[in-house]
Structure 1
Amino acid sequence: MRVLIADDDAVARRLLELTLTKWGYQVVPVAGGLEALQALEAPDAPPLAILDWEMPGIAGVEVCRRSRKLAEGRYTYMILLTARDRKQDIVEGLQAGADDYICKPFDNYELQARVRSASRIVELQSELIASRDALEVLATHDSLTGQWNRRAIFDILSREISRSKRQKAPVAVILADVDRFKHINDSYGHLAGDRVLADIAVRMATGLRTYDSIGRFGGEEFMVVAPECDKAAAHCMAERMRSAIEENPVRLGESDLKVTVSLGVASGGAALPDVQNILLRAADAALYRAKQKGRNRVEVDDQDAVAESDANYGGMVFNPPKTKA
């Protein structure tokens, strides 16, 4: 474990460094409070810090206080090391954000015990953060395809629309539906259907820009959110995805299964009223036309797309469309 030590006394700092190194810790030594604060703000900041109270520039107690205010999503266990032993000093240090307090001159056995205790807490914190991150992935990603789930892709669309309003740029929505997916499930089994969905999701994601997003919209349907993408560019993007899926059959055991998708494209300026529902309904109407015209094709919303979707959905908030097959 990496440990930051900050002490302006070169002899005391060296002694502490040698002691901690002997116990198996990786030591990051600095000579002042400003250096300590910079080290704690770094992306690879040590998870444990031992700070001398009295230092030039910024005192150790102030380093604690500022570090706690600046911390985002991570926690550094901080121990204050000082000759001050009055109760009010201890209280001040703990209220500033220190987790523990050791008086100088320190006793090696006490220091070792407190650092070990701090290490256990840091390790527990790391486990909790890993568990939290894993839960966040489960809450926002589709377990089958690994892409964003319905709620997450809707949140992304809302954020991109808000951003596009500030930048006065278009946002594109692409809805893709696997053709004759029910037939695939009925003929090859649901495990094969799962394989098809997972494979298609990968191929679609491969053709996106780094700032585009794809999510499983429901069943065999996917949604792509493409910021700063006009209708023509979105059409090209959808056509690349369609072609990549058509030209590369899905491997099922010893055989290859040719799979195709139909896609509906809509793009518009975020200044439109209720733009999210307008885009979704227009993309869905375009997807419906792609199915009607023979499947395995891309259709782009036209001037009648919104009116058509209004007729289908009665102007209500968009919900998952019925299976299009």
Structure 2
Amino acid sequence: MKGALSVRALKRHYTLRQRSGLFSSAKTLKAVDGLTFTVAPGEMFGIVGESGSGKSTTARLLLGHIPPTSGDVWFGGEPVGAVPNAHWRAMRKRMQMIYQDPLGALDPRIAVAGQIEEPLIIHNPEMTPADRKRRVAEVMAAVGLITHHGSRYPHELSGGQRQRVIIARALSMEPELLVCDEPVSALDVSVQAQVLNVFEDIRARTGFTGVFISHDLKVVRQVADRVAVMYLGCIVEMGIPEDILQSPAHPYTKALVSAVPQPGRPARSRIILTGDPPNPVNVPSGCPFHTRCPEARPACRSLKPELIAEGGRSVACHLVNNPSLVGGEAA
């Protein structure tokens, strides 16, 4: 289906070699470990989770920036590959990314207008210089930049203005798929609101399919139609943002939601997780969250739960999907 994104059993593992004395040993870092989801044409799909949960690696896999260890990604009925060939270049015209660090993603030696124009030069060589200039002016105006910003260099702009440049550059190609990796996390709250409003206005006009990655559930609730919660490279819960915020099912999601400030909710209601997330090189057996879960049962240590869908919500938790299996007191 045109504009639909399909992810099936997607994994990205890295082999790490460690030297000890005369010998070296290999360990596997499981950055992404078996993601399966679909995004309908025109839908905005959110992904949330702590740092190290695999969100940014997922973004790179979706666009074919890196190859998967196994599994596949399809967009618009075509496979997304990571081999630079004619098919890959044709798909890149339809798929763009908004990066987390705009200053790092922009070339400090090139003025802003030139950087917005660059994708048009690469992917649309048939465009005349006048057409390209006109397109650059259009997208700059669409994101709230004025003409004189085009002659400035990235370091001469504010953080919010640089983020608008990144959005304008991505939109210059009129993408069918837009992947946003923490696009507002480094901005002040007031600037975040401005950028998100611009983002929503453009989405309403163009109808692109999107994936919005963030650690902030409040931001995801504002822009996403559905959201997936990731932990150690896996999806542990998926559903409508408002439903998940009002009644989280997975213990990890409950902890994330409890950290979102809400008027009238006492501070003592927050769930404080003990310890740091496990090293993705040594993912715990069974449920990957059981080492930090306040509700874990003995069975959670040995059996990895499947992501099971019911009533518009998908949850990977024995306590939710198979309570008879884990009956009894918390481990």
* TM band (smaller chain): under 0.3
Larger Rg: 1
Structure ranking higher in helix proportion? 1
